[in-house]
Amino acid sequence: MRPVLLVLEHFWTWYRRNWRATVVSTVLLPLMFLGAMGFGLGSRITPGPATDGLPYVVYLAPAMLVAAAVQVATAESSFPVLGSLKWDRRYYAITSTPVTVDQLLMAQALWVALRVLISGLAYIAVAALFGAFTNAGVLLAVPVSVLAGMAFGSWILALAASVNDEGVTFGNVFRFVLVPMTLFAGTYYPISQLPAWSRPLAWITPLWHGNELARAVEFGGMGALAAVGHVVYLVVLTAGGLLVARQRFHARLKV
């Protein structure tokens, strides 16, 4: 475990000096979306069955946390990892020390989770000031968001260790997977608003399960079995992604 902590310390050293630069895209951006859609568009939406009877901004706020978590996890697992393998080859420097490839991957994944956690807490703190939450149950949505972030981010880690272009693949994945997922996986409105045929697509995404869980911990109304089902799905996705990533990291770094 100690080598993992040492690598984490390396990431932390960078972060301590550069955290300000990450605030805009990881904290301010989701807050702006919450402001525009939640308060702006929300002022045109009367509470009804589509919003669980809640004011729209309250309905949106916990899901926005999860959507932001998936975005942050994706950002942190994509270019920084590709860059460490290809541009500054930092990973090769790390694995030429006693740190093993598995320990490096563990540290990198933990770092992504930590970044998701930090920006999630910052988001919660500010959104709470604007009265976007109804109760403290939303604090439980933070671990949910980290799990949902990792369920997607771990696969991006695997992808980042598989591609060798300058980011064209990421561009396509962001555009055809990440953006549609953010838009269609029940963040802004329940997927019951969409045509029935498109709903199974949302069920596959980690974001939808995260959204459901995050709303449930704040607003209640979810059976224990359903909750366990959502959690298990996200855990399995995370584990699967990490396993593939492990195989890819070994293939890339052990040459």
Partner 1 sequence: MTVLRIVPMGSYAGRARAVIERSALVNRRNWLLVVSGVFEPLFYLFALGIGFGGIVGTLTGPDGSPISYAAYVAPGLLAASAMNGAIHDSTFNIFLKLKYAKVYDAMLATPLGPTDVALGETSWSLIRGGIYAAGFLAVMAALGLISSPWALLALPAALLVAFGFAAVGMGAATLMRSWQDFDLILLVQMPMFLFSTTFFPITVYPEPIRIAVECFPLYHGIELMRALTSGAVTWGILGHVAYFAIMVAAGGWFAARRLGTLLLT
Q: Which of 149, 151, 160 is nearest to 91 (CA)?
A: 160
Question: Around Cβ 156, how many Cβ atoms within 10 Å?
Answer: 26
Shortest separation between residue 113's beta carbon and partner 1, angstroms: 23
Burial annotation 11-21 (CB, 10 A radius, 16+ → b, else e): beeeeeeeeee
- The number of helix segments (H) and strand segments (E) in the chain equals 12, 0
In angstroms, the CA 87 to CA 13 distance is 20
Shortest separation between residue 50's beta carbon and partner 1, angstroms: 5
**Could you tell me the two tokens for 60?**
């949106």
Is residue 70 a contact partner of residue 182, using CB atoms and an 8 Å limit?
yes
For residue 193, state whether it binds partner 1 (rule: CB under 8 A).
yes
Is residue 116 a contact partner of residue 109, using CB atoms and an 8 Å limit?
no
Binds partner 1 (CB under 8 A): choice among 3, 35, 137, 143 = 35
Binds partner 1 (CB under 8 A): choice among 53, 175, 232, 239 = 175
- Interacting stretch for partner 1, rule CB under 8 A, among 6-14, 34-42, 94-102, 145-153? 34-42
- Non-local (6+) Cβ contacts of 52 within 8 A are 59, 215, 219, 221
Shortest separation between residue 42's beta carbon and partner 1, angstroms: 9
For residue 29, state whether it binds partner 1 (rule: CB under 8 A).
yes
For residue 204, state whether it binds partner 1 (rule: CB under 8 A).
no
Residue with Cβ nearer partner 1 (26 or 145): 26
- Interacting stretch for partner 1, rule CB under 8 A, among 66-74, 147-155, 178-186, 242-250? 178-186
- Interacting stretch for partner 1, rule CB under 8 A, among 70-78, 102-110, 144-152, 169-177? 169-177
The rounded Cα 103 to chain-centroid distance in angstroms is 22
Site for partner 1 in 226-255 (CB under 8 A): none
For residue 43, state whether it binds partner 1 (rule: CB under 8 A).
yes
Question: Around Cβ 200, how many Cβ atoms within 10 Å?
Answer: 9
Binds partner 1 (CB under 8 A): choice among 88, 176, 226, 228 = 176
Binds partner 1 (CB under 8 A): choice among 25, 100, 134, 162 = 25
Q: Which of 240, 242, 220 is nearest to 77 (CA)?
A: 242
Q: Which residues bind partner 1 (CB under 8 A)?
A: 18, 20-21, 23-25, 28-29, 32-33, 35-37, 40-41, 43-45, 48, 50-51, 168, 171-172, 175-176, 179-180, 183-184, 188-189, 193-195
